[in-house]
């Protein structure tokens, strides 16, 4: 336990540790710098009162019946997630949170450790990209001017309007073709038909794209591949 404590204190990410009841028992210096709360302000308080996390829609994410805390308390893993919160000064920021269970002295019970970092700038870029994507991409598989599904020729013509993906990104040509297809509003089946490959192969390529770009969703991958300033509206 001492080693875990020391590791959390030294990490460059904000870090906090909760006991089995969800009470904060550790708050490191990086967390102080990030959120403005000193350790003495938060230690001994329930996690949900400190973080006060919300979803993108502004709905409460943190609560006394936190699913994340319950899973960690049982020793089960949790995928990283994004929440918005406020600093001590009231500034709204976005955090990406990684969580892991830490064995406690109680049999079959675990403490909950959270590591978090500021992703506000990335969220702003993603928000701008969503607006741009909504402006330039049609509803999936359909044309703006018609209620009929897009023909193969139409989707191919629309794909021609998608900008080139930066050469520096570590993607193969097939992965770039699939990303351009997604940006053009095509479904996985559309892409599979156009490239003469199976939908399963398309899904595998998309998973590899997410891993290579460090993205958690297709939309995030598009935000990285077509950043604001790199996407131009269709003419």
State pLDDT tens for residues 51-82. 999 887 778 888 888 888 888 888 888 888 88
Task: Please answer whether residues 178 and 208 qualify as being in contact, where contact means their C-beta atoms are separated by less than 8 angstroms.
Answer: no
CA proximity to 26, closest of 14, 35, 34, 36:
14
pLDDT at 126: 64
The predicted-structure confidence for 163-205, as pLDDT tens digits, reads as follows 678 877 888 888 988 988 888 888 888 888 888 788 888 999 9
Max mean pLDDT range (73-82, 112-121, 222-231)? 112-121
Q: CA 51, 57, 59 angle in degrees (round to 5)?
A: 50
pLDDT in tens, 82-107: 889 999 999 999 999 999 999 888 77
pLDDT averaged over every residue in the chain: 80
Residue 119 in 3-state DSSP? Answer: coil
Contacts (Cβ under 8 Å, ≥6 apart) of 32: 38, 39
Domains of the chain: 2-118 (3.30.450.20), 122-225 (1.10.10.10)
């Amino acid at each position: 336990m001492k080693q875990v404590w020391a590791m959390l204190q030294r990490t460059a990410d904000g870090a906090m540790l909760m006991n089995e009841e969800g009470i904060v028992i550790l708050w490191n210096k990086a967390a102080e710098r990030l959120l403005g709360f000193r350790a003495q302000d938060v230690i001994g308080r329930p996690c949900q009162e400190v973080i006060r996390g919300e979803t993108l829609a502004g709905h409460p994410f943190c609560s006394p019946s936190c699913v994340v805390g319950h899973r960690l308390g049982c020793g089960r893993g949790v995928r990283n997630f994004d929440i918005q919160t406020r600093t001590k000064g009231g500034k709204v920021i976005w955090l990406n949170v990684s969580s892991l269970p830490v064995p406690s002295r109680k049999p079959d019970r675990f403490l909950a450790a959270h590591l978090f970092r500021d992703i506000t700038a990335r969220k702003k870029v993603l928000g701008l990209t969503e607006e741009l994507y909504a402006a330039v991409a049609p509803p999936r598989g359909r044309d703006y001017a018609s209620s009929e599904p897009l023909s193969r020729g139409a989707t191919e013509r629309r794909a021609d309007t998608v900008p080139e993906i930066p050469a520096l990104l570590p993607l193969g040509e097939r992965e770039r073709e699939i990303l351009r297809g997604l940006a053009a509003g095509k479904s996985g089946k559309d892409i599979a038909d156009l490239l003469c490959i199976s939908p399963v192969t398309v899904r595998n390529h998309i998973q590899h794209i997410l891993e290579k770009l460090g993205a958690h969703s297709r939309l995030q991958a598009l935000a990285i591949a077509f950043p604001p300033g790199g996407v131009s509206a269709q003419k």
